[in-house]
Chains A and B, each alone.
Chain A
């Protein structure tokens, strides 16, 4: 346990969605390397309030890397420098004394800024509402062990389902595409036997909803590198394959 000193923060401030934004600089004279990145912002905010200034707005909640609420571009990287780590799990031991750290909100036209570092990610919800579910109303489910699922299949589904919906993939993508998020959701459900009935209907609806909000994927792979859950871009391939198939499978199903 040791202390870092003289951290310089360059933080994006913006009063509202339509206001002009600006960078503000703040100094953290001393901080323990055991502190998390967000605790450093807490300390800054408490100081700002005591000085009569408005606290920096940022999204955060569980601080365990699972709820997906936190965001932040830190030195131009979504969720900062540590691989496979959400901002809330990033600790100051990843930084050096005297560092200048630039903190910005997610950058994507589909995620408009609400205030300071907080953005609106609700297009993700629209994608799930379009088809990211299995229709299984409460009450009618058969016994759980009636549907055996090979372990590798369950594991692959779980790998995709680990997505926390934070939006880092979109923020890191030069096109602002949401293919990793959508692909992960589609893989999670399309891999499972329970997900087969709606497989192609789901894929078509979700992809088209996605396309109405986000940019297109051109296989940069930045999304996988930025993902705090290290979700694989293989899921994008699964999505694309199922989307292509959906175009004739759905038509065939309709013609019956």
Chain B
């Protein structure tokens, strides 16, 4: 513990201001720490947490349907295919109830019943209704809630905000984290910041796939730079492919748009039984439609977990039953719910999603079914952290999607918001204290320390290096090519042959990037091309580690599906004897030769079982 009057003696640097970062920075500020928060956006409110649509889980049991902390804990471990750390998940489930209280007190306008109490909906992978929501904009409302708390602390002078500034390196002195090096996006100025502790809340790396539902600026740089300085990177191959996204329309598409999984509450997923079906959708009779999720997984039906639903969609499309102009989607059909509940009810539940769909595709989901297909959405892997959310570098903490801790090999819907807020509001503000208390009244390295000076010079040289290559192709070109390799070989279906191919192709493409990249403009004024080049550079090295991890994990679990390891009917085949562990990779200096460490997963309460949603 740190005594309240001593808290102001500690400076904490929080990088990233999404749900996890904003809530942590605000809570540190309230507690009395000296806090500096960094965002590369113009405002903390832009972070990609804002795009989460469906909801946030909490074991409130407000519906009286038998929910409990234990059930949420168990569902989360099971949903993660028994690859998450039991203790962390239990803490998450315990804290979940406090998150809802906290967010309501802050003024988040959650959906309500007519009696004034909070409404819930159900979500994939659970048989209770425990998801709280604010229309289809839950992430937005929660982020604005956390942003307001942060804004209050900024206004009070407890938190200093640095906006449009990006982390470019993490600095360690005597094997402890001493601070960070940043680059001001407005003028390219590279600067050091020293602190007692650094918190990375910098989100996931789903944009490694190029096309994903992540925002355009989402990147792995902060986590990757920390990794290169000694923080272990855990389970990079655990990536989540979300089953309900709008299918790609053409080659130059810049990102994919998610349609909330909550739509599966009222939508039925199907494809025509006949691969050569050409009739308009309304004319396809009921008995010639394959409601494949309801058929294969009768007990969970359209609410089967994300990994299971995604693979089923891929199988249908691979079998030629895909729908739409490019035959690259499946139907999500609301006709039956509209008949049962009335159009008004359905539109009230999903109006913003229906409108968004119509704007993007030009089709009205009230009249014809949506077309959906899986896309990269969330990354369960991330920096390895212990129970106190500290990485392998003492003094460097990691929260939210950026760490690996709570979701195992697959995250259940509506659990990302829960984890981000749990880490930021209720876990880290307490677990950071033991580390800090040892540093009381001891001097910490200043930014004039040699380690900072060297890191600054390296960063300046690196950015100048991108400008000096003078090749022929912009960073987007390389990102697109890299994403294609990772999606093809390390996407929904992975095999030894494919992964080995990717491990040969990525370094070759990276070498070409270093020779043929062209960045125009200068390093001393705002330059989005230069920012992008640095981020793509880090995605290359991460991509290699993702494939390496996928190759090493000789089993199928959650979002990681190895085609060599499947049952006769195509379900994932886990290997608990050899792979019930976290793989934490250490940087060796050579991206192709990472050092493997294993943390065995010990389960005291949970019993291994084959996940069955049938």
Q: Which residues of A contact B (CB under 8 A)?
A: 1, 15-16, 32, 34-36, 38-39, 42-43, 45-46, 48-50, 52-55, 57, 59-69, 82, 84-85, 89-91, 93, 114-115, 118, 120-122, 124-125, 128-145, 147-151, 154-155, 157-158, 161-162, 164-165, 188-189, 192, 194-195
Contact = CB atoms under 8 A, between A and B. Distances in A.
A18 B147 CA distance: 31
A45 B98 CA distance: 47
B608 interface: no
Contact of A125 (B109, B116, B151): B151
Contact of A148 (B106, B115, B134, B217): B115
A89 B252 contact: no
A151 B114 contact: yes
B405 to A, nearest CB: 20
B359 A89 contact: yes
A148 B116 contact: yes
Interface in B99-136: 100-107, 109-118, 134-135
Contacts of A132: 148, 151
B43 A124 contact: yes
Given A64-B258, A125-B151, A57 B526 contact: yes
Contact of A121 (B43, B62, B98, B152): B43
Contacts of A128: 147-148, 151
B255 interface: yes
B299 to A, nearest CB: 30
A44 to B, nearest CB: 11
18 contacts: A1-B249, A34-B250, A46-B474, A49-B520, A49-B529, A82-B359, A115-B525, A125-B45, A125-B154, A129-B151, A138-B26, A141-B101, A142-B101, A144-B110, A145-B117, A148-B117, A188-B107, A194-B104
Contacts of B48: 61-62, 67
B5 interface: no
Given A129-B155, A165-B43, A154 B111 contact: yes
A249 B161 CA distance: 33
A48 B476 CA distance: 12
Interface stretch (B137-145, B229-237, B338-346, B551-559): B137-145
B558 to A, nearest CB: 25
A55 B521 CA distance: 8
Interface of B: 23, 26-27, 30, 41-48, 50-51, 60, 62, 98, 100-107, 109-118, 134-135, 137, 139-141, 144, 147-149, 151-152, 154-155, 161, 163, 186, 215-217, 249-250, 252-255, 257-258, 325, 355-356, 359-360, 362, 425-426, 429, 472-474, 476-477, 518-521, 525-529
A65 B50 CA distance: 10
A130 B155 contact: yes
Nearest to B149: A133
A61 B217 contact: yes
B50 A141 contact: no
Contact of A42 (B43, B110, B111, B252): B252
Nearest to B52: A66
A81 B429 CA distance: 47
A91 B104 contact: no
Q: For chain A, what secondary structure do more than half of its interface residues adopt (helix, strand, loop), or is it mixed?
A: loop
Contact of A68 (B45, B186, B518): B45
Contact of B42 (A46, A120, A130, A131): A120
A15 B525 CA distance: 9
B30 A137 contact: yes
Q: Which 6 A-B pairs have the closest CB atoms?
A: A148-B116, A129-B155, A133-B148, A141-B105, A49-B474, A141-B101
Contacts of A49: 473-474, 518-520, 529
A152 B429 CA distance: 36
Nearest to A209: B155
Contacts, number: 230
B257 A63 contact: yes
B356 A142 contact: no
Nearest to B156: A129
Nearest to B424: A138
Contacts of B186: 114
Most buried by A among B104, B216, B253, B518: B104
Given A35-B250, A148-B116, A50 B356 contact: no
Contact of B360 (A89, A133, A147): A89
A135 B109 contact: no
Contact of B107 (A54, A130, A131, A192): A192
A161 B41 contact: no
Contacts of B360: 36, 89, 91
A136 B147 CA distance: 13
Contacts of B255: 63
Contact of A141 (B98, B109, B252): B98
Contacts of B118: 144-145
A156 to B, nearest CB: 9
B62 A145 contact: yes
B50 A62 contact: yes
Contact of B144 (A69, A125, A142, A161): A161
B528 A64 contact: no
B50 A144 contact: no
A157 B109 contact: yes
Contacts of A52: 518, 520
B137 A162 contact: yes
Count chain B CB atoms within 10 A of each CB in A131, A136, A139, A155 and give the residue with the most.
A136
Contacts of B102: 136, 138-139, 141
Contact of B109 (A39, A65, A84, A158): A158
Contacts of A150: 112, 114, 116
A145 B518 CA distance: 57
A133 B152 contact: yes
A43 B161 CA distance: 34
Given A39-B252, A64-B258, A136-B105, A93 B520 contact: no
A138 B25 CA distance: 11
Nearest to A93: B362
Contact of A45 (B30, B112, B474): B474
| Residue among A38, A49, A68, A147 with the highest chain B CB neighbour number at 10 A | A49
A122 B154 CA distance: 13
B116 A151 contact: yes
Contact of A138 (B154, B155, B425, B525): B425
